[in-house]
Amino acid sequence: MATSTTYAMKGKSKRIKKDGITLFLLSTPFIIAMILFSYFPVYGWIYAFFDYKPGIPLSSTPFVGLSNFQKIFDTPADLINALINTLAMNFLNILLSPLAIVFAIMINEVRSTRYKKFVQTLSTLPNFISWVLVFSLAFAFFSSDGFINTVLSKLGVDKQIDPIGTESVTWFFQAGITVWKSLGWSAIIYIAAIAGIDGELYDAAKVDGAGRFKSIWHITVPGVLPTFFVLLLLSVSNMLSSSFDQYFVFYNPLVADKIEVLDYYVYRAGIKVGDYPFATAVGMFKTLVSVVLLFSVNFISKKIRGQSMI
């Protein structure tokens, strides 16, 4: 008996070891890609400490220490404006993030499997459309000669709708575009969370006389809240990062003051102006603040939920 148990344990140990090696080999290409594209570029941070000029070797470049970081705290107006735009648009995105929960619950409550798959597929497709095509669609709809203004003109309405070139609605328009593009994809996470809820809870609620709305409110919503809080905390930790592609394609002189985010500011300072050391310093500062925010929200999560994210 003891011998058979020993053999079984050895066999299980060998199986676990073999599976572990297999999983490691499968993950190796992704680990290499992550090192190459996420960690290796960190070497470029060294340029923030030099007065680097393109074409001059780094060994021949004067060392300036923290002077490029000092320029950040000299509070240039355009940097402050970019920071405000970044925080404002990310805050709007966070405020609208519960829409993904609502959408996921609505899809889950649909009884027709065929219709459910159709809606889920249709709502997920925008996530795979590039921002260049999104801008083309927005321009086709909202430009002065676009579909909406053409229809309004034929209906006798003189006022044109131009959210692409109207500064006062830029933040809200960009938030709406983000929701349209990411709603279906974000809902997938919550649909998976709903699928993990024990079905016996719904049966018990039904026996107790609870209707569909009460079952959603007392079972479904509490079941997806832990997932929502994790994603919310990650969004808060990522407040200083934005979708560069989105704001790059929608950038134009009419809305420049409202759409320039930190990522675009770094691009403009580094590529357009050519101040590579300062752009690198701003990027480093943004990354360090994001790391601090990540560990801060992780600490808050551990205190409130009793469980850390990382």
Would you call 2 helix, strand, or coil by DSSP?
Answer: helix
Q: Compute the chain's Rg from CA coordinates.
A: 26
Instruction: Check pLDDT > 80 for residue 19.
Output: no
**Average pLDDT of 17-38?**
82
**pLDDT of the residue at 17:** 66
Q: What does each C-alpha distance from 8 to 17, 19, 20, 119, 161 come to in angstroms?
A: 14, 16, 18, 49, 73
- Residue 102 located in a structural domain: yes
- Of the chain, the end-to-end C-alpha distance in Å amounts to 43
| Domain at 262, CATH number | 1.10.3720.10
Encoded tokens for 52: 């680097």
- Give the number of domains in the chain: 1
Q: Is residue 5 part of a domain?
A: no
Note whether residue 69 is domain-resident: no
Mean pLDDT of the 243-272 span: 89
Q: What does the pLDDT read at residue 147?
A: 86
The answer as to whether 89 is a domain residue is yes
Average pLDDT on 275-290 reads 87
Helix, strand, coil percentages in the chain from 3-state DSSP, rounded to 5: 80, 0, 20
Q: Is 156 inside a domain boundary?
A: yes
Q: Percent of the chain at pLDDT above 70?
A: 92
Tell me: the pLDDT tens digits for 212-257? 888 888 888 888 988 888 888 888 888 888 778 899 999 998 898 9
pLDDT of residue 303: 77
Q: Is residue 310 part of a domain?
A: no
Predicted pLDDT at 34: 87
Q: Return the higher-pLDDT residue of 230 and 132.
A: 132
pTM of the complete model = 0.82
Tokens of 291: 């790391």
Closest CA to 170 of 262, 263, 258: 258
CA dist 76 and 236 (Å) reads: 25
Angle between helices 221-237 and 170-195 (to 10 degrees): 130
Q: Say if 22 falls within a structural domain.
A: no
Q: Which residues of 84-116 are buried (b: 16+ CB within 10 A; e: fewer)?
A: ebbebbbebbbeebeebbebbbebbeeeeeeeb
Confidence band for 162, pLDDT divided at 50, 70 and 90: confident
Task: Tell whether 2 is covered by a domain.
Answer: no
Span 47-63, pLDDT tens digits: 889 888 888 888 888 88
